Amino acid sequence: MKPESKDPKTPFILKGDKLSFCILDFWQWNQSDLLSNNLRGHLAEFIVMKALGIESTVREEWAPYDLITKEGINIEVKSGAYLQSWHQDKPSVISFGIAESFKWDKETGKYDTLQKRQSDVYVFCVFETQDKELANPLNLNQWTFYVIPTAVLNEKLGGQKTLTLGSLKRLGPQECKYNELLETFNSIMPTKEKLTLHEAIIRLLKQEGRPMTTTEIAQKLNENKWYSKKDGSSIDPFQIHGRTKNYPQYFKREGSTVSLIETI
């Protein structure tokens, strides 16, 4: 079941009757401790999503990466903080999980056989404030971001599972504040990549994680502009049909529906 964005005023129901409390009451009860480890991590994903202008209405818990740009760049977001919700005698040592994983397919419920880091790039988010009286995770001036391609982690760290902030800095990530994050990200992961049509179809099917009809593919590619025809005209379903037919090593076709060969 694909998650959908909920109206905050959606009420709880009992025997067909609307009750006096709604989903916003639950969110306020469950989501207000922004310094807790899990919620701070989700908040960091949201902050990065907004900084990069990524359009997403609902967080997917079991996605193989945290965010994806319209160009198809997969992003893993990690967060750390010196402060915790509980009593501390001293600030926490900041450490991030960077372990390789098996990609889970939400359509089949099965894991891939290849263990690796699933994203193209990591954004490490550090909530820097150490004074609990001043700490406010919603104040974006209190965050610092470190952007580094996944390829660097793979080359320098291999299968290492954790990474301290000090060790991260020694790898040479690009450090920035919130208002600099988009420019920093684009300098590391260029967005103006020219794709062939079949490459754009492959990227789209990977992003969507499901088979798509030729009409759906054409519509999405016309929206995201990953591939442009020389004459500037729109991509049509017949063109998708022809291109996927020409690359049987990449695409499986059933009528007008196209899916990826599993080995890609």
Q: Are residues 60 and 139 in the same domain?
A: yes
| The pLDDT of residue 6 | 92
| The pLDDT of residue 63 | 84
Q: Is residue 8 part of a domain?
A: no
Which of the listed residues 130, 163, 188 is the one where a domain comes to its end? 188
Q: Are residues 213 and 129 in the same domain?
A: no
Which of the listed residues 163, 188, 213 is the one where a domain comes to its end? 188
Q: Are residues 181 and 201 in the same domain?
A: no
Tokens of 24: 């916003």
| The pLDDT of residue 248 | 93
Q: Are residues 181 and 214 in the same domain?
A: no
- Is residue 107 within 8 A of residue 126, CB to CB? The reply is no
CATH assignment at residue 239: 1.10.10
Q: Is residue 14 part of a domain?
A: no
CA atoms of 179 and 170, how far apart (whole Å): 24
Q: Are residues 213 and 177 in the same domain?
A: no
| The pLDDT of residue 239 | 96
Residue 17, Cβ density class (10 Å: 0-12 exposed, 13-18 middle, ≥19 buried):
exposed
Q: Are residues 110 and 128 in the same domain?
A: yes
Range of the domain at 176: 32-188
| The pLDDT of residue 108 | 79
Query: Rounded to whole angstroms, what are the CA distances from 215 to 69, 117, 212, 237, 255?
Result: 22, 32, 8, 5, 12
Give every residue of the chain whose pLDDT is below 50, as ranges: 192
The total of structural domains in the chain comes to 2
Q: Are residues 178 and 256 in the same domain?
A: no
DSSP 129-143: ---TTT--TT-GGGE
Q: Is residue 10 part of a domain?
A: no
Q: Computed from CA positions of residues 119, 124, 125, 130, in that sequence, does the dihedral angle turn out positive or negative?
A: positive
Q: Is residue 117 part of a domain?
A: yes
Q: Is residue 52 part of a domain?
A: yes
| The pLDDT of residue 190 | 61
CA atoms of 67 and 77, how far apart (whole Å): 8
Which of the listed residues 159, 188, 217 is the one where a domain comes to its end? 188
